[in-house]
C-alpha cells in the first residue's frame, strides 16, 4: 500500500475515543492550553496585525488564528520532532466545526488527534530537531499536512479524497525561512499561509481536485528541498496510543530552548541567593541551540525577548511576573532587566548532548558572594515526565490573561475549555466561543 493511502486511512478512520482515558485527558488539556494561547494572541498588537492581510475566506481566517496562537510562545511542543502541533491543528478543527455547525465531541477530538500525529510524525521523519538550526522551521514545513489532515477529517472526506488532500498539502510544504527581525514579524504571515494552504488543500480535494498519491513513495523532499525523509516515522499507529504522552507544555511565555535554564536559575534563587549578590550567570546547554538562546533582546522585537535566555533569566530575577507577559512590544527594555541580562552568558556543553533531542536541558552556574552554585534541569516543568495538570493550566491562564481580560472573564473562558468535550451542547458552546470570541478580539 502507498504511504499516502495508509495515512489517509488513519486520518479518515482513527477514533480518539479508542485511546486510553489518560491520553484523552491529555488531549483535552492540550486543547484548553491552546485556547488560552488563542485568547492571549487575539488581544495583543502583533496578533491583531495579522488581520490586516488576506481576505475573509475561511481558510485564511483559520491560518491567521493559528498564527496568533503560535506567536504567543505559550503553546505546546513535541521536543523530538521540534514541532508545535496544537497551534496549527486546534483552530482548524474548532473553526471548521463552528462553520459547519457540527459539534460531535468525538469527531472533533479525533480530527485534532490525527492532525497532531501528522505534524509530529513529519517532524520526526525530517529530523526536525537537527534541521531547525539549518534554517528550516519544522513546524512551518509540516503545517500544511497537519492542517489538511484535520480539515479532511472534519469535512468527513472519504479515504481517497483524504489522500488527495494530504498529497496536495505535501506539495505546499516550504520549510526554509530567512532571518526575520522586527515586528510585526513576517514569520507569522508565512505560518498563517502554511496552515491556510492545508485547509485549502482539503477544500480542493472535497471539490474533486487530485494530488499525487505516490509522493511519499518517492524521494520528493530530498529532490525538491534537499531534506532527507525517513518514511518509517509516518506509519500510522494502530489506535491504542497517541503522541499526547510525549508532548510538552510551556509553564510561561518562552522559547522552549530557554525554559530549563530559567527553571534552574529560579531554583538557585529559591535557595536563598540574593539577586543583588549575583555577579555572573553561566548557562550551559547543548550546542544545537546555544547560539539561538544567546540572542540578545531587542527593544520592540517581542520575539527576541522570548528567545533570549539572558532576558528571560533577568525577568526571573527582577520581575518574575513578566515571564507570563505575552505582549512584549515596548519600544524600550527596562533598565534593571537589561543590566541583569548583561551578566548572563551561554556556553555549549557537550555533557548535555546525550539528553538531546528527547529533552532540552540546561545547567546554570551562578557566581554570588564568592561562591558558585549550580543546578541542572533535564526534565522541565511541562515536559512529559512533569506534565501540567488542570490546576496548573488554570494558574497559567490567570497569570497570562487576567491583565488582558480580568479574572472573571478568564474563569468563564476556562469553564468553557474544561467542559468542551462533555457533550455536544458543551462542544457547541466552546467551538462557537473560540471561533467568534477570538475573532472579535483579533478585529477590535
**CATH number, domain at 323?**
3.30.1330.120
Tell me whether the omega of the peptide bond preceding residue 236 falls within 30 degrees of 0, making it cis.
Answer: no
Question: Is the domain of 64 the same as that of 110?
Answer: yes
pLDDT band at 258 (very low <50, low <70, confident <90, very high): very high
Q: Are residues 278 and 238 in the same domain?
A: no
Beta bridge partners of 285: 348
Number of domains the chain is built from:
2
- Where residue 442 falls among pLDDT bands split at 50, 70, 90? very low
CATH code for the domain in which residue 30 is found: 1.10.4100.10
CB-neighbour burial class of residue 178 (10 A; exposed 0-12, middle 13-18, buried 19+): exposed
Statement: residue 444 has pLDDT above 60: no
CA distances for 54 relative to 86, 192, 193, 425, angstroms = 23, 10, 9, 32
Q: Are 337 and 425 found together in one domain?
A: no
DSSP sequence for 71-113: TTS-S-BBTTTTB-TGGGTHHHHHHHHHHHT---HHHHHHHHH
Same domain, 124 and 23: yes
Q: Are residues 118 and 224 in the same domain?
A: yes
Same domain, 189 and 290: no
Residue range 252-265: mean pLDDT, rounded: 98
Is residue 169 pLDDT above 50, yes or no?
A: yes
Query: Do 262 and 169 fall into the same domain?
Result: no
* Domain end residue (candidates: 343, 377, 411): 377
> Would you place residue 336 in the very low, low, confident or very high pLDDT band (cuts 50, 70, 90)?
very high
Res. 184: pLDDT tops 80: no
| pLDDT for 367 | 97
d(C-alpha 432, C-alpha 428), whole Å: 6
pLDDT at 443: 47
pLDDT value at residue 433 = 94
Element (H, E) at 189: helix 186-206
**Cβ-based neighbours of 307, under 8 Å, separated by 6 or more:** 255, 257, 258, 292, 293, 295
pLDDT band at 9 (very low <50, low <70, confident <90, very high): very high
d(CA 268, CA 204): 55
Taking the C-alpha atoms of residue 93 and residue 89, their distance in angstroms, rounded to an integer, is 6
Residue range 289-328, pLDDT digits in tens: 999 999 999 988 888 999 999 999 999 999 999 999 999 8
Domain range for 344 is: 256-377
Where is the domain boundary, 377, 394, 420? 377
Give the integer Cα–Cα distance in Å for 289 and 273.
28
- pLDDT(253) > 90: yes
Count of other CB atoms within 10 angstroms of residue 45 = 11
**What is the end-to-end Cα distance of the chain in Å, rounded?**
50
Assess whether 260 and 390 both reside in one domain.
no
Do 30 and 120 lie in a common domain? Answer: yes
Residue 278 has pLDDT above 70, yes or no: yes
pLDDT digit string, tens, across residues 140-163? 999 999 999 999 999 999 999 999
Q: Do 329 and 304 sit in the same domain of this protein?
A: yes
Per-residue pLDDT, averaged over 351-373, amounts to 96
Cα separation of 55 and 69, whole Å?
19
Please report where in the chains the cell 473562558 appears, as a residue.
413
Q: Which of 347, 377, 407 is the last residue of a domain?
A: 377
Tell which wins on pLDDT, 101 or 53: 101
Of the candidates 81, 286, 45, 336, the residue with the CA atom closest to the CA atom of residue 188: 45
Least confident range of 23-37, 119-133, 144-158, 339-353: 119-133
Q: Looking at the structure, do residues 242 and 305 belong to the same domain, yes or no? A: no
- Evaluate if residue 55 carries a pLDDT over 70: yes
Beta strands, E only, 203-357: 278-285, 344-348
Distance set, CA 298 to CA 42, 262, 305, 318 (Å)? 23, 19, 7, 18
In terms of domains, do 111 and 186 share one? yes
Lowest mean pLDDT among 268-272, 414-418, 425-429, 439-443: 439-443
d(CA 439, CA 238): 37
Task: Taking residues 108-117, report their average pLDDT.
Answer: 98
Amino acid at each position: 500500500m502507498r504511504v499516502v493511502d495508509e495515512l489517509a486511512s488513519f486520518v479518515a478512520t482513527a477514533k480518539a475515543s479508542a485511546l486510553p482515558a489518560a491520553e484523552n485527558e491529555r488531549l483535552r488539556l492540550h486543547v484548553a492550553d491552546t485556547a488560552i494561547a488563542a485568547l492571549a494572541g487575539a488581544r495583543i498588537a502583533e496578533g491583531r496585525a495579522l488581520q490586516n492581510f488576506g481576505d475573509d475566506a475561511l481558510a485564511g481566517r483559520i491560518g491567521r488564528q493559528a498564527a496568533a496562537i503560535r506567536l504567543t510562545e505559550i503553546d505546546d511542543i513535541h521536543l523530538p520532532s521540534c514541532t508545535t502541533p496544537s497551534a496549527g491543528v486546534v483552530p482548524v478543527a474548532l473553526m471548521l466545526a463552528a462553520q459547519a455547525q457540527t459539534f460531535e465531541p468525538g469527531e472533533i477530538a479525533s480530527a485534532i488527534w490525527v492532525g497532531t500525529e501528522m505534524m509530529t510524525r513529519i517532524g520526526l521523519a525530517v529530523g526536525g530537531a537537527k534541521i531547525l538550526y539549518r534554517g528550516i522551521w519544522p513546524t512551518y514545513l509540516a503545517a500544511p499536512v497537519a492542517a489538511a489532515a484535520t480539515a479532511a477529517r472534519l469535512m468527513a472526506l472519504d479515504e481517497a479524497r483524504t489522500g488527495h488532500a494530504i498529497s496536495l498539502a505535501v506539495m505546499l510544504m516550504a520549510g526554509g525561512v530567512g532571518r526575520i527581525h522586527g515586528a510585526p514579524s513576517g514569520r507569522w504571515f508565512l505560518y498563517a499561509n502554511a496552515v491556510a494552504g492545508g485547509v485549502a488543500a482539503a477544500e480542493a480535494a472535497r471539490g474533486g481536485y487530485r494530488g499525487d498519491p505516490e509522493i511519499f513513495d518517492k524521494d520528493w523532499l530530498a529532490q525538491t528541498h534537499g531534506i532527507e525523509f525517513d518514511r518509517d516515522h509516518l506509519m500510522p499507529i494502530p489506535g491504542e496510543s497517541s503522541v499526547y504522552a510525549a508532548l510538552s507544555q510551556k509553564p510561561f511565555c518562552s522559547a522552549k530552548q530557554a525554559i530549563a535554564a530559567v527553571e534552574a536559575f529560579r531554583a538557585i534563587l529559591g535557595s536563598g541567593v540574593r539577586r543583588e549578590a549575583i555577579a555572573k550567570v553561566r548557562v550551559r546547554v547543548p550546542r544545537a541551540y546555544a547560539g539561538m538562546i544567546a540572542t540578545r533582546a531587542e527593544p520592540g522585537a517581542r520575539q527576541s525577548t522570548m528567545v533570549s535566555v539572558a532576558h528571560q533569566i533577568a525577568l526571573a530575577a527582577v520581575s518574575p511576573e513578566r515571564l507570563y507577559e505575552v505582549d512584549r512590544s515596548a519600544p524600550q527594555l527596562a533598565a534593571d532587566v537589561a543590566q541583569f541580562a548583561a551578566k548572563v552568558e551561554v556556553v555549549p556543553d557537550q555533557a548535555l548532548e546525550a539528553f538531546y533531542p528527547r529533552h532540552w536541558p540546561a545547567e546554570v552556574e551562578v557566581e554570588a558572594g564568592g561562591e558558585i552554585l549550580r543546578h541542572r534541569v533535564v526534565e522541565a516543568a511541562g515536559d512529559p515526565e512533569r506534565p501540567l495538570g488542570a490546576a496548573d493550566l488554570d494558574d497559567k491562564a490567570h497569570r497570562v490573561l487576567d491583565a488582558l481580560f480580568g479574572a472573571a472573564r478568564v474563569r468563564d473562558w476556562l469553564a468553557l475549555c474544561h467542559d468542551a468535550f462533555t457533550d455536544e451542547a458543551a462542544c457547541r458552546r466552546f467551538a462557537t466561543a473560540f471561533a467568534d470570541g477570538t475573532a472579535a478580539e483579533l478585529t477590535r
